[in-house]
Structure 1
Amino acid sequence: MKIIQLTDLHIFADKTKKLLNIVTYHSAEKIINHIHTYEKDYDAIIVTGDISQDETIASYELAIKLLKKLNKPIHYLQGNHDKKENLDLVFSEQKPIEELYSSHWSFISVDTVDYGKDSGFISNDELNKLKNKISINEKNNIALIMHHHCLKLGTPLIDDCMLLNSNKLLEIIDKEKKIKLIICGHAHNDYKLIHKNFILEVAPAVCFQWKKGTKTPITENYCGYKKYTFLENQYLSETVLI
């Protein structure tokens, strides 16, 4: 199974509006056109949050219109800049993360959004849902898919707004050897960290990147996405930057 991950589009209802001097719609359009031209051999798209910047229905309509050009199944979750009810309304025909299918991998979403805050937090209810989803997974490797990162990445700007109660998640992961991978967005750059029994993969943003290591908002004007190939007992990843 092959998947493309897109994250952090930050689209406005106004196609010409800028975020930190970047026209985010143009960045999204550039990425979609690149994928349409060069990526032929993949099965699905996952979008890991911050699809909108202004939370409007119109911004989600622009996003889904772009994504549908790829003519692939779209699986999505919300980010801290998304308004869930508007996102779910416009994306109502799209698929949850759990409907990704692979013979040897199960994909489980985790809602890390604490609405109104940049930082992430997993509620007790969400933690219990996660435990239940894991318990019914009999033999497959598990990939968790969420918006916020649960390990410090070495960039203070975004580590200050990571998943705040990551210790709760890590306690579960440490007990569940089946969890081999965490996929997320939010950090606006490409990262890959190995931690005990799992690997954390962070995709670059579709709109722009935060300079690695920065404490203040310093942007880098390029776009990106990640590709994954899931095999029986391993996975492969590749980052594309344009």
Structure 2
Amino acid sequence: MNKAVPMRLAQITDCHLQADPEARARAGFPLRQLEAVVAAVNRERPTLVLITGDISQDETAASYRLAEQALTRLESPWYWLPGNHDQPALMAECRELHDELDLGTWRALLLDTHVSGQPHGELGEEALNRLAERLAADSRPTLLVMHHPPLPVGSAWLDEIGLADGEAFWRVVAPHRQVRAVLFGHIHQAFHGVQVLADREVSAYGCPSTTDQFLPGSSTFALDAASRPGYRLIELSDGELETWVVRVDP
């Protein structure tokens, strides 16, 4: 019997665009870097693309219009969710915010961890209760997708602004064995961590930014000058997941 062809997803994150298309970041030009990542992702021919927050840096309507123009060049359907630098209402004016994606034998739940005016993330009691209901209602293999990391990433300054209710999040996830992995942004670096639960382990994956990269393991803010923008690829098949990071020369 032939094995099913894997479904390929791509993750793009932390674009940090400004209203000015020529605006600089600390290590380059965010719009040009995003355009280079979009071109590289198109060559991968993913089924769909997930953009996991911090689309904007200056939280302006113009920055989201720039993002939409760049992301519309993707040759696959794409979906975004807000990060701590974002304004969800302005995002929704440009393009609908989805909270669930039907991936056939899989599904993805997109979780909003944005807290207005704060760098850290939080789901809150209502969203956690809703997540528990959604997980109980469907046993298909599931990806959870968010902006903030739900576990420590080994950088003190980033761990202070991760998911504030991470422990509560994992208590909700624990009874639901169909949760295969968590994808997140925020940390501007490749990362793989494991959350140990009573009966299993769940992997959590961070992704490089399309612009500046943060130095892994740094106790205070520091750029990783040796790293390049990038994206993550995820292949799903037969309940299994394989994932890796690709870097891009902007």
2:137 maps to which residue? 136
Alignment of 1:31-70 (within 5 A): 31-36=37-42, 38-40=43-45, 42-70=46-74
Distance 1:141 1:183 in 2: 14
Letter of the structure 2 residue corresponding to residue 101 of structure 1 = L
Q: Deviations over 1:6-60 (max 9, x none)?
A: 0000000101212335321121122122223x323x2000000000111111111
Separation (CA, whole Å) in 2 of partners of 1:18 and 1:106:
37
Equivalent AA in structure 2 for residue 185 of structure 1: G
Q: Aligned ranges for residues 8-157 of structure 1 at < 5 Å?
A: 8-36=14-42, 38-40=43-45, 42-92=46-96, 96-103=98-105, 105-137=106-138, 139-157=139-157
Aligned residues between the structures: 236
Determine what percentage of the aligned residue pairs are the same residue: 25
Q: What amino acid sits opposite 1:96 in the alignment?
A: H
Offset at residue 111 of structure 1 (A): 1.5
Task: Give the structure 1 partner of residue 222 of structure 2.
Answer: 218
Q: Please give the secondary structure, in 1, of the residue aligned with 2:63.
A: helix
Distance 1:97 1:132 in 2: 14
Structure 1 outlier segments of 4+, above 6 Å: none
Render the CA deviation track for 1:52-90: whole Å, top value 9, x for unaligned: 111111111111111111221111111110001101101
**TM value normalised by structure 1:** 0.93
Q: How far did residue 100 of structure 1 move?
A: 3.8
Unpaired stretches in structure 1, ≥5 consecutive residues: none
Structure 2-normalised TM-score? 0.90
Mapped to 1, the partners of 2:109 and 2:188 lie a distance apart of 22
Secondary structure, in 3 states, of the residue corresponding to 1:125? helix
Tell me how far apart the structure 1 counterparts of residues 234 and 241 of structure 2 sit (CA, whole Å).
Answer: 7
User: Is the 2:190–2:208 Cα contact (8 Å) retained in structure 1?
Assistant: yes
Residues 168-200 of structure 1: CA distance to partner in whole angstroms, max 9, x if unpaired? 001111222221210110011000112233110
CA–CA separation in structure 1 for the residues paired with 2:160 and 2:31? 27
Give the Cα separation in 2 of the matches to 1:207 and 1:123.
30
CA contact (8 A) 2:17 2:67 kept: yes
